Chains A and B, each alone.
Chain A
Amino acid sequence: MTIAGSPADQAAQGGGFRSAEGARKVPLRHPWWWVGGALLILVIGMFVQLLVTNKNMDWSTVLRFLFDGEILKGLLRTLELTVLAMVIGLALGILLAVMRLSANPLFRAVSWLWLWFFRGVPPLVQMVFWFNLATLLPKLKLGIPYGPVLASWDTNTVISAFTAAILGLSLTESAYAAEMIRAGIQAVSKGQTEAALSIGMSRFQVMRRVVLPQALRIVVPPIGNDLISMLKFTSLVSVLATPDLLYSAQMIYSRNYKTIPLLLVATIWYLVLTTLLTVAQQQVEKRLKTTHHRSGAMKNVKRLRFLPSFGKA
């Protein structure tokens, strides 16, 4: 800085002004951080001691069952439930969101009703209900309403515990996804729709090619959260005796009475999966951020290909 000759400089030379240049700086101390930190370390230490020294934890059993065939099969079933429920839930969610924003009042009403119901009824209640559908409708029939029946199935063969679980989870997810996707659609500027209409796109094309791809990018972070919740919610299916991760662990400890070690096995796997998903989610979000950033736009775009994109250009 060349402020020599300025009034301040002249004042400093005259002794009326004390320059801070070159003075030693003393940072602010935080004694309470140390006190709080020490307390936390003590609590954590006690907890670790409990984990390691309590014989009932039985770490050798935990290790023995961590890669047990039954557990791994349950793990696979949990992943299967998560992915299927999520995919169905999202597909329905998109449909419901578009219906909710439709000009047709009937579509809006049906979508509202669906959301009200499936957001209001706990997934566990739904699962049990779907599982017992046969008591309400013994046969599922396909045909012309009030006309001839073309095909008919025994409800109990169609609705297995697995289907009931998928229905309960995906229908609940559809309601939540619909609300998020609706917000995403509304966040895409109206100008996008107008520009697309002006080049002659139909309403359907505008939605599929212009609005939804942008809306889905906006809702990737919350959908990621939902995916993680979904993974945990799948443990509800154990009430329907579907051999997921939790139920597999329960089956084993009902035989060998090693309840805590097997619950630990399940816990460890759930934590591993949620950690992986969290890391993946952070990566996706980071890339989304950089593509919206001017300078980073070009570099990161290729890697974005795996993101939801309806119809490639």
Chain B
Amino acid sequence: MVPLLRVEKVNKAFGANHVLRDVSLDVHAGQVQCVIGPSGSGKSTLLRCVNRLEVPDSGHVYLDGQPMGFRWKGDALREMTSSQLAAQRRQMGMVFQGFHLFPHRRVIENVIEGPVVVGGVDRATARERAMELLSKVGLADKAEAYPDSLSGGQQQRVAIARSLAMRPKLMLFDEPTSALDPELVGDVLAVMRDLADEGMTMVVVTHEMGFARDVADHVVFMDGGCVVEAGPPGHIFGAPEHERTRSFLARVL
């Protein structure tokens, strides 16, 4: 079966700093994969390479078997135009550590921005669907508010709704709860749990080990830019094979 997302020997360096070294992983439709590991291990860069906010130095990312950022032209890979890449990118949603809601637009406008501007959906239909999504994340009453009047947790849930509005095949979460006050983390994780239960394919970079253990189908442990160990959560948390995994878990659990 062709995986929904395949990362194949991706390398990325910023100057002398080699952040990703031959990272490979497969994500199948409906799977929830959590990427864990110490700070600076390359987890976020990996996600950003997946939707090509960062361009890998070598290696490829495939979505539905199609290489990200390229088109097959005979035997050659031809680099995509910015709008072709945009069309490919919108098939995956991304949720950022810092939310990045559009501060000059209301909550509802944030959510319909993608469908209306990118997807060409008419405003009324987009609004209706946006309200459904906002109810789903528990923020229907905040539709007309501006982002800066919301708490961090609320902003992050709006950001999730904004991504979902594009009906992505895959959701990427880049440490979605790391910038939140501890008491707000639960609401965001609950929304993510619901999404997982509905069968959304998700790749989640996280420090929330409880979430990884309970929700993930597959856990990837990264350190020093490499995938050290990957497997079902029971295996990674219960019987890690590598010393680095064991010492990391000993520090965070």
Q: Are A200 and B106 in contact (CB under 8 A)?
A: no
If A201-B117, A313-B112 touch, does A301 touch B163 (CB 8 Å cutoff)?
Answer: no
**Which of A191, A202, A294 makes the CB contact (< 8 A) with B96?**
A191
> Which residues from 128 to 146 on chain B have a C-beta closer than 8 Å to any C-beta of chain A?
145-146
Q: Are B148 and A297 in contact (CB under 8 A)?
A: yes
Q: Are B106 and A313 in contact (CB under 8 A)?
A: yes
Q: Mark A263-307, 1 if CB is under 8 A from B, else 0.
A: 000000000000000000000000000011011011001000000
Min distance, Cβ A189 to any Cβ of chain B, angstroms: 7
Q: Measured between alpha carbons, how far is A191 from B155 in the docked complex, in Å?
A: 14
Q: Is A209 in contact with chain B by the CB < 8 A criterion?
A: yes
If A197-B89, A205-B118, A209-B113 touch, does A294 touch B163 (CB 8 Å cutoff)?
Answer: no
Which of B12-20, B97-105, B212-220, B222-230 is the contact stretch? B97-105
Contacts of B116 in A (CB 8 A): 313
Q: Is A210 in contact with chain B by the CB < 8 A criterion?
A: yes
Min distance, Cβ A171 to any Cβ of chain B, angstroms: 30
Which of B3-11, B30-38, B79-87 is the contact stretch? B79-87
Main secondary structure of the interface of B (DSSP, over half): mixed
Q: Measured between alpha carbons, how far is A189 from B96 in the docked complex, in Å?
A: 13
Contacts of A192 in B (CB 8 A): 100, 102
Contacts of A194 in B (CB 8 A): 53, 94, 96, 100
If A194-B53, A297-B149, A298-B146 touch, does A199 touch B100 (CB 8 Å cutoff)?
Answer: no
- Count of CB-CB pairs between chains A and B under 8 Å: 86
Q: Measured between alpha carbons, how far is A291 from B146 in the docked complex, in Å?
A: 9
- Kindly report which residue of chain A lies nearest to residue B94, judged by CB atoms: A198
> Which residues from 174 to 218 on chain A have a C-beta closer than 8 Å to any C-beta of chain B?
189, 191-192, 194-203, 205, 209-210, 213-214, 217
Q: Measured between alpha carbons, how far is A301 from B87 in the docked complex, in Å?
A: 33
Q: Are B166 and A199 in contact (CB under 8 A)?
A: yes
Min distance, Cβ B76 to any Cβ of chain A, angstroms: 23
Residue ranges of B at the interface with A (Cβ–Cβ < 8 Å)? 51, 53, 82-83, 86-87, 89-90, 92-94, 96, 98, 100-106, 109, 112-114, 116-119, 145-146, 148-149, 159, 162-163, 165-166
Residue ranges of A at the interface with B (Cβ–Cβ < 8 Å)? 189, 191-192, 194-203, 205, 209-210, 213-214, 217, 291-292, 294-295, 297-298, 301, 309, 311, 313
With A196-B102, A198-B89 already in contact, 11 other A-B pairs whose C-beta atoms are closer than 8 Å: A191-B96, A194-B53, A194-B94, A194-B100, A195-B162, A198-B92, A203-B82, A205-B118, A210-B102, A301-B146, A313-B112
6 sample A-B contacts, Cβ–Cβ < 8 Å, listed by A number = A201-B114, A202-B86, A209-B117, A292-B148, A313-B109, A313-B116
